[in-house]
Chains A and B, each alone.
Chain A
Amino acid sequence: QSVLTQPPSASGTPGQRVTISCSGSSSNIGSNTVNWYQQLPGTAPKLLIYSDNKRPSGVPDRVSGSKSGTSASLAISGLQSEDEADYYCAAWDDSLDGLLFGGGTKLTVL
């Protein structure tokens, strides 16, 4: 059972904007930065957002991250078929002294 809570699924049509939420607590999201990872079928996770809202080189600016208090969100605008993947949030937890992952959200492009 993940301590970081994500919706199991999300969907949108091409061109739409979708958001994926990640809810935590004061010991993780509330006191540490959040990363988001994209995992395409059959591949390893790839860093999509780091330090709450920063994009690594190569990630398009239609992908954005935000954080408020103990919750974080990933937004993807101009949805494309290649965005269909699993998305995971992650944050260090000071109480557990370990890295926590959300349960993952499967994004479907209709």
Chain B
Amino acid sequence: EVQLLESGGGSVQPGGSLRLSCAAAGFTFSDYAMTWVRQTPGKGLEWVSAISGAGERTHYADSVRGRFTISRDNSKITLYLQMNSLKAEDTAVYYCAKASSWSVRNVDVWGQGTAVTVSS
């Protein structure tokens, strides 16, 4: 069974940083692209970033490009999202999601999410 467990969320002041982690299990991690998606309280889903299986290709939403960095450690079977220069509008639940293949274009399994609050 595929399992994704996010951690690292919390409260931070505007301009601060956080690093989210997503521990994976139940599949060959390096064979699959991975994605971060966020959901603002009471609102819809917003794609944040994606990374290829080997980590050589990354993609970012315009809203986070230059501030967030996605990475992965296939030896630790873990996905990361380094979030810098955080803004109030980054407040959301962040989900880690597994792609359905090597391609970043589709996601199938989601983690349970970790909450990030940016407030002074």
Q: A residues within 8 Å of B by Cβ? A: 2, 32-33, 35, 37, 43-47, 50-51, 56, 88, 90, 92, 96-104
Size range of the interface on B? 20 to 34
Question: A100 to B46, alpha carbons, bound, how many Å?
Answer: 7
Question: A35 to B110, alpha carbons, bound, how many Å?
Answer: 13
21 A-B pairs with C-beta separation under 8 A: A33-B106, A35-B106, A35-B107, A43-B112, A44-B112, A47-B109, A50-B100, A50-B106, A88-B44, A88-B45, A90-B106, A98-B59, A98-B61, A99-B37, A99-B50, A99-B107, A101-B46, A101-B47, A102-B44, A103-B44, A104-B44
Residues of A contacting B104 in the complex (Cβ-Cβ under 8 angstroms): 92, 99
Residues of A contacting B113 in the complex (Cβ-Cβ under 8 angstroms): 44
Tell me the nearest residue of chain A to B49, going by C-beta.
A98
Question: A92 to B113, alpha carbons, bound, how many Å?
Answer: 22
Name B110's contact: one of A45, A102, A103, A104 (CB within 8 Å): A45
Number of A-B contacts (CB under 8 A): 58
Interface centre among B45, B60, B112 (most CB of A within 10 A): B45
- Contact between chains at B106 and A46 (CB < 8 Å): no
B14 → A minimal CB distance (Å): 24
Q: B residues within 8 Å of A by Cβ? A: 35, 37, 44-47, 50, 59-62, 95, 100, 104-113
Known: A90-B107, A101-B45; 9 extra A-B contacts, CB below 8 A, are: A33-B106, A45-B45, A47-B107, A98-B61, A99-B35, A99-B104, A99-B105, A101-B46, A104-B44
